[in-house]
Amino acid sequence: MKLEALRIPKPLRGFASEAELFDLVLDGDRVASVAPSARQDSARGIVLSACVDAHAHIDKNYTVQDVGAAQGNLFAAIERMNGHRAGWTAESLRPRMERALEDAWRSGTRALRTHLDWVQPEAPVSLAVFESLREAWRGRVELQFVSLTPLDLFADAEAGERIAREVARAGGALGAFVYRNEALLPKLDRVFELAHKHGLSLDFHVDEGLDADASGLRAIAQLVRARGFAGRVVCGHACSLSVQDDAVAHETLALCAGAGLHLVALPTTNLYLQGAWDRTPVPRGITRIREAAARGLRASLATDNVQDAFYPYGSYDLVETFGLGVQVAHLAPALDWIDSITLAPARALGLAWDGRIAAGCPADLVVLAATDEHELIDPRGRRRSVIRAGRILEHTA
């Protein structure tokens, strides 16, 4: 298969060239060659490496009609989902989780990391369903999971050990919900200790609110450095960073960059959930993406919640999520930030392919109808052909 006169965003080029448009030849499941196109005056589209979703919740999704939307109230959403979770069974979970994967697959996602609610020492019913789906979807969507546990539960040494042992058995990452906890550092240190003992990476929900005194992100960065966990820790949300004094926020970001920490921003959920609902919401919940990038910390943009109490809308279309992130965080030129749904999350998840396009790379691509950055957010520009293992999927967006 030959793809002609396509724009490859500079962050995705695994080669050096001053050309604007390129022809790609696919041979089987690989890109055989990438060469400057003879047509440099008229782009036929933009080609991306298939997307990577670094933060999702496929156990919660598609439940909003049962629980309702918790407008502007994070802890109300948590309470509603706690009540709904009590009735979860493998039979009720699997269709919702499969629906999410089908949506992601058709939209052009090649890898997805989901957080699984894990609020008791014993493994949740969702874990067995996830393990089954991970095998069933092998070769289509590479699946990872994180145990999403309230940080305070790790104060119980036996409970923490049991969780970490089961996460290690199932090949996941150890996670926690961190927000203005008492005895924050000792509890976080316990999580790091368990991760070290069981050879686990870490992935935190941290500072998901607009309280300027939230210091979870800073504490995690300090522990990453102290315990030598560079490159093994992901932090999602970090909304409080947006309302802290510039000096404090910049110092925290410098610590994060120096620690090799990965940052994930979730524009849909946090724009909906953070801020007032009795008036126009100011400020908003997006973290400091541009300031992080200025320190060499390239954040990912990810899906987070879809049609549940936390966010009642949405889908698993990362290109659409990217478009929202471009607007709310002023990410311009937009194509210079396309690594936020490709390279940055691929590295955060430790994938074998980082997403750079070059001869020999996997033929897992998304060809957008957009011909320049200004059409990326246009519904027509987001139309796409999804190519997996060198073949075009039918019925794509």
Structure tokens at 20: 């604007």
228 closest CA partner among 188, 261, 268: 261
Task: Please give the Cα distance from 366 to 13 (Å, whole number).
Answer: 14
Cβ contact 200:194 at 8 Å: yes
C-alpha torsion 130→266→233→223, nearest 10: -130
Joined together, the tokens standing for residue 28 give 């089987």
Give, as one character, the DSSP assignment of residue 141: S
186 prior amide bond cis, ω within 30? no
Choose, from 142, 208, 320, 375, the residue flagged as catalytic: 208
* CB 153 within 8 Å of CB 180: no
DSSP state of 123: P
By CB atoms closer than 10 A (0-12, 13-18, 19+), residue 379 is exposed
Tokens of 271: 């724009």
Any catalytic annotation for residue 208? yes
Active-site residue set = 208
